Every structure is written in structure tokens, then in C-alpha cells.
């Protein structure tokens, strides 16, 4: 069992630099990313982990299907195909299909989510 709670310790997250290093397009600010893999990694079909980001705006086309829950901070996500926009904070969750183009607006100085991603299937 791997508990994932709003109080999950995120101190072991590794800083990896700009979200552009993950294939995102930075629109505003300098959003810096941090990650921690709990199960799997970017090369496995299924991964569970933590993703954090500093304040900024960026566009990302999802390279996997994802379910995520916010642990801390506030983010507004816009599905660019539908125009649907929703804000999320600690305890809120979302689901996106692989290939969805999403505009991320990280509104807090720091934001952290836990997620499960599936590349195929």
C-alpha cells in the first residue's frame, strides 16, 4: 500500500528545471518542475508519482492518460479543444485523456499533485 494524502511528504521531490524540459511550451513566467516517481517512471506504461511546479503559464499536450489529485497550491486548467476551464486546489482531482491539449495556469507560488498515468491501454 502507498498512501497518497494531502499531508504526503513532498521533500524528496527532485528539481528538473523548466517545464519545457517535459515538452511543455512556456507562455508566461518561468515555471520550474519537480518530480518524484513512486511506481514506474516515464518509460513504463503505468506510473504513479508526484509532480510539482512553480507559478507560471504553460501549454502541454498530454503524452499519457492521467488521473491526478492536488496536494497543495492552486491551478487553473483549460482544455484547449473544448474551452472548458476549471480551477483546482488541495483535494480536487481531474482526468485527462492522452492527446488533450491543456493550458496550465499555476496561480500559487508552488503547486503539487499526485498522479497516475497510463501510456497505452
Nearest partner of 105 among 73, 64, 68, 82, judged by Cα: 73
Whole-prediction pTM value?
0.95
List of domains in the chain: 15-118 (2.60.120.10)
Contact assessment for residue 56 and residue 106, using Cβ atoms and an 8 Å cutoff: yes
Q: What pLDDT is recorded for position 107?
A: 98
Which 8-state DSSP code applies to residue 12? T
Confidence tier at 68 by pLDDT (50, 70, 90): very high
Q: Is the pLDDT of residue 47 over 90?
A: yes
pLDDT in tens, 6-46: 999 999 999 999 999 999 999 999 999 999 999 999 889 99
Q: What pLDDT is recorded for position 87?
A: 98
Q: What pLDDT is recorded for position 97?
A: 97
Q: Is the pLDDT of residue 121 over 80?
A: no
Q: What pLDDT is recorded for position 64?
A: 95
Q: Which three cell numbers stand for residue 93?
A: 482531482
Q: How far is CA 54 from CA 81, 98, 115, in A?
A: 25, 24, 17
Share of the chain above pLDDT 70, in %: 99
Over residues 76-101, mean pLDDT: 98
Amino acid at each position: 500500500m502507498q498512501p497518497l494524502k494531502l499531508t504526503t511528504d513532498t521533500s524528496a521531490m527532485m528539481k528538473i528545471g523548466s517545464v519545457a524540459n517535459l515538452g511543455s511550451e512556456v507562455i508566461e513566467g518561468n515555471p520550474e518542475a519537480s518530480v518524484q516517481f513512486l511506481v514506474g517512471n516515464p518509460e513504463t506504461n503505468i506510473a504513479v508519482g508526484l509532480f510539482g511546479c512553480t507559478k507560471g503559464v504553460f501549454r502541454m499536450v498530454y503524452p499519457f492518460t492521467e488521473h491526478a489529485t492536488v496536494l497543495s497550491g492552486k491551478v487553473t486548467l483549460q482544455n484547449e479543444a473544448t474551452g472548458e476551464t476549471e480551477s483546482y486546489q488541495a483535494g480536487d482531482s481531474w482526468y485527462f485523456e492522452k492527446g488533450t491539449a491543456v493550458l496550465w495556469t499555476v496561480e500559487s507560488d508552488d503547486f503539487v499533485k499526485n498522479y497516475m498515468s497510463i501510456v497505452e491501454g
